[in-house]
Amino acid sequence: MDDSTVQLVRTNAPLYRDVASALEACIRKGIWKPGDQIPPESELEARFGASRGTLRAAVAELVKQGLLKPQPGKGTFVLGPLFNTMEAYFRYEGVGRDPRITPKVEVLKKALVKADEQTASSLELEPQTKVGLVRRLRFQKNEPFLVLDSYFIPSVWEKIKNADFKIHPLYDVLKENFGVYVVSADEYLRAGLASEEISKQLNIEPGSAVIEIERVAYTFENHPIEYRRATGRADRFRYHVKLA
């Protein structure tokens, strides 16, 4: 895809912000992929009709957002996104002093299944379309704390079905080994009660409180490729954010 297809759109915002939006569009559309070096300043100056100072302010904005990283003496490179997922808030407060999770992962199931209504809608597919399902169970030491069901669109599943799904984080494996990029995601959290099946997997009583996290992961051009349902023990979940 040619980056000339992305045009500078002027708004009421300062010019550097509009230039930053145009640069970000090149990343979001997959014109510049993680690991790519962006064009040199002279080329971008000519393209956008912006001064070097304006261009540097735009790049600094994307560096602040974690989308670009300057490498002294080499240039500026596109970074893959960092997913601060809600799954990271599962902790073990009873072991030491609020230690972070260092999980072990067991793959319980890998199969082609028919997408239910929620999965199909999230992946923009027709209901009952066959999708790839990977069910994983995460442990801290020997205690299970999180069940993850990941549903992948057919074209992606054909590429990744033989991946090692025990490795965490999974998206790094997909990117490095299969050329499948996740560049953004929508994530939703709610409280729920453990079903019979989930309670057996998490070794808790049926009807126990659980935290449910739903995610739709997107590749370039905002195309959904994964729908994930994560269900974890509520007694192992603690949300903390410092507001300043």
Lowest mean pLDDT among 76-85, 88-97, 157-166: 88-97
Report pLDDT digits (tens) over 109-141: 999 999 999 999 999 999 999 999 999 999 988
Q: Taking phi first (over 0 means left), then psi (-120 to 50 degrees means alpha), and beta for anything else, what does residue 141 get?
A: left
Report pLDDT digits (tens) over 166-222: 987 888 888 888 988 888 899 999 999 999 999 999 999 999 999 999 999 998 778
pTM value is 0.75
Cα gap 196→204, rounded to integer Å:
9
* 130 sits in which H/E element: strand 130-140
Q: Sort strands 143-152 and 184-193 into parallel, antiparallel or unpaired.
A: unpaired
| Residue 152, pLDDT above cutoff 50 | yes
Domain 86-236 fold is Chorismate lyase (3.40.1410)
Q: Taking phi first (over 0 means left), then psi (-120 to 50 degrees means alpha), and beta for anything else, what does residue 128 get?
A: left
| Number of neighbouring beta carbons within 10 Å of residue 41 | 15
Domain 3-78 fold is Arc Repressor Mutant, subunit A (1.10.10)
Residue 99 pLDDT: 53
Cα gap 183→218, rounded to integer Å:
6
User: For 80-105, what is the mean pLDDT?
Assistant: 66
> What ranges do the domains of the chain cover?
3-78, 86-236
| Residue 95, pLDDT above cutoff 50 | no
Q: Nearest Cα to 92, choosing from 231, 243, 238, 214?
A: 238
Residue 101 pLDDT: 54
| Residue 27, pLDDT above cutoff 80 | yes
Amino acid type, 133: L
Q: For tokens 């009709």, what's the residue?
A: 49
